Amino acid sequence: MTRDAVFDLEAKSLLKRFGAHTAVDTLSFGVKRGSFFSILGPSGCGKTTLLRMIAGFIQPDGGDIEIGGRSMRGVAPNRRPVNMVFQQLALFPMMSVGENVAYGLARRGVGRAEREAKAQAMLERVGLPGAAGKRTDELSGGQRQRVAIARSLVLEPTLLLLDEPLGALDLKLRERMKIELKQLQAAFGTTFVYITHDQSEALVLSDQVAVMNAGRFEQVGSPQELYYAPATPFVAGFVGANNRIEGRVSALHGALADVTTPEGWVVRAQIQTGSDGRRPGVGDAATAFVRPEVALLGRTVADLGLPATAPGDSAARGDAAPMHEGVVESLLFDGANSAVLLRETRSRAEFRVALPQTGRYADLKVDERVLFTFAPERAVCFVTGGGAPVGGATGSGHG
């Protein structure tokens, strides 16, 4: 079981600049052997640069990459124990499926009979028996994907890099390939490093996810940690849907803080320490995040299961969750992901609440007045912008 502690990939103070722009900013991290590690970030966050540095197509300006415990400094891409599944898959159209899979083996000098047998066996393992003789354009999108993975895995790399390979597929197929990828990774036990801008892909597939922004990792953790305990406002805003409420801290209640918007709407949330180590104190500009599915919707106070008090009057009810009031702005029907977009009465701020699966509030009408509440422990708040002044918080004195 000591294998678990071994890093297949370790980056040490990795740095890459393009002119004045720092694409990868002194990044250090480790990826455990056999794990599925995702790097999640918006386009332009540096994730592709990072992946290409691991593959060896870009030379870092500083720091080092160790793969399987071996420094990759000065090692060419064709000499690294790493293979890559490209965004557009990059199957060789001038070769058959079997030749594609056998390509890497041929480069290693494996004899024709042996590499053909190995390619056949690998194609069977990825569920494509008998595809060896086909042309690559005879395959469906999902099958091409599997060939691209087979072509890399047949070389038994220490590390498989995947560059948003699901991006080009349509939604239905993407959902299926997500499951397939996870199963393939489990079956082969190869360490996968996967980059994507799609948070759902990262959450579903990964053991560990690194959320990347502006060349740095905002947070590295399990999908659950990222979702329920985001370490930075960026992670809270980027991973999953979240309602964002900006204001100033008006009161502290142990681990909870009341964030009051300029209009006087009070939102109570769990205090989170930002990546800069700051915790919001009374008077600080703060941002609260509340997930749509954390909030509970009701037409009456009784619906919410709360003691009967006026909306927003949190002080009078002691420990009970604060109650809020809003007007239905629009209904967002999306099957199991249906939600309702409210406008909070006092602040006129938009607030999204997930609709219960029971179909109980399917009859909501636009402009209808509703109440909502959420457990403050399941919402989070941070110091706004890590000390930088933020426009939304400037008018708080008028509240």
Question: Which of 77, 142, 264, 298 touches another protein (CB under 8 A)?
Answer: 77
Q: Mask: binding to another protein, 87-116, rule CB under 8 A, as x and -?
A: xx-x-xxxx-------xx--xx--------
Give the integer Cα–Cα distance in Å for 68 and 95. 31
Q: Which is nearer to another protein, 151 or 352 (CB)?
A: 151
Count of beta carbons in the 10 Å neighbourhood of residue 361: 19
User: Near another protein by CB under 8 A, which window of 71-79, 126-134, 249-257, 300-308?
Assistant: 71-79
Cβ neighbourhood burial of 269 (10 Å; 0-12, 13-18, 19+): buried
Task: Retrieve residue 326's tokens.
Answer: 């809003």
* Nearest distance, CB of residue 107 and another protein, angstroms: 4
End-to-end CA distance of the chain: 58
* Residues 211, 218 contacting (CB under 8 angstroms): yes
Question: Which of 2, 78, 357, 358 touches another protein (CB under 8 A)?
Answer: 78
Give the integer Cα–Cα distance in Å for 59 and 74. 8
Count of beta carbons in the 10 Å neighbourhood of residue 307: 12
* Nearest distance, CB of residue 88 and another protein, angstroms: 6
Task: Retrieve residue 211's tokens.
Answer: 């959320």
Cβ neighbourhood burial of 76 (10 Å; 0-12, 13-18, 19+): exposed
* Nearest distance, CB of residue 55 and another protein, angstroms: 6
Q: Which is nearer to another protein, 70 or 107 (CB)?
A: 107
Q: Which is nearer to another protein, 57 or 333 (CB)?
A: 57
* Nearest distance, CB of residue 90 and another protein, angstroms: 4
128 in contact with another protein (CB under 8 A) = no
59 in contact with another protein (CB under 8 A) = no
* Nearest distance, CB of residue 203 and another protein, angstroms: 27
Question: Which of 35, 38, 152, 272 touches another protein (CB under 8 A)?
Answer: 152
Give the integer Cα–Cα distance in Å for 138 and 147. 12
86 in contact with another protein (CB under 8 A) = yes
Q: Which is nearer to another protein, 155 or 353 (CB)?
A: 155
Site residues for another protein, 153-172, by CB under 8 A, read: 155
* Nearest distance, CB of residue 56 and another protein, angstroms: 8
Question: Which of 14, 45, 82, 354 touches another protein (CB under 8 A)?
Answer: 82
- DSSP, collapsed to helix, strand or coil, labels residue 303 as helix
55 in contact with another protein (CB under 8 A) = yes
- DSSP, collapsed to helix, strand or coil, labels residue 74 as coil
Q: Which is nearer to another protein, 60 or 311 (CB)?
A: 60
Q: Which is nearer to another protein, 86 or 228 (CB)?
A: 86
- DSSP, collapsed to helix, strand or coil, labels residue 259 as strand
Strand extents, DSSP E, 164-265? 191-196, 208-213, 216-221, 243-253, 256-260
Task: Provide DSSP, 150-183.
Answer: HHHHTT--SEEEEESTTTTS-HHHHHHHHHHHHH
User: Near another protein by CB under 8 A, which window of 148-156, 171-179, 181-189, 228-236?
Assistant: 148-156
Give the integer Cα–Cα distance in Å for 309 and 214. 45
360 in contact with another protein (CB under 8 A) = no
- Tokens 């008006």 label which residue? 250
Task: Retrieve residue 93's tokens.
Answer: 């159209």
Helix pair angle (141-153, 171-188), 10° resolution = 20
Site residues for another protein, 262-301, by CB under 8 A, read: none
User: Near another protein by CB under 8 A, which window of 76-84, 256-264, 360-368, 369-377?
Assistant: 76-84
Question: Which of 151, 174, 197, 324 touches another protein (CB under 8 A)?
Answer: 151
- Tokens 């499926």 label which residue? 97
Where residue 348 falls (left for φ over 0; alpha for ψ -120 to 50; beta otherwise) is: left
Q: Which is nearer to another protein, 55 or 379 (CB)?
A: 55
Q: Which is nearer to another protein, 77 or 386 (CB)?
A: 77
Residues contributing to the site for another protein (CB under 8 A): 55, 57, 76-79, 82-84, 86-88, 90, 92-95, 103-104, 107-108, 151-152, 155
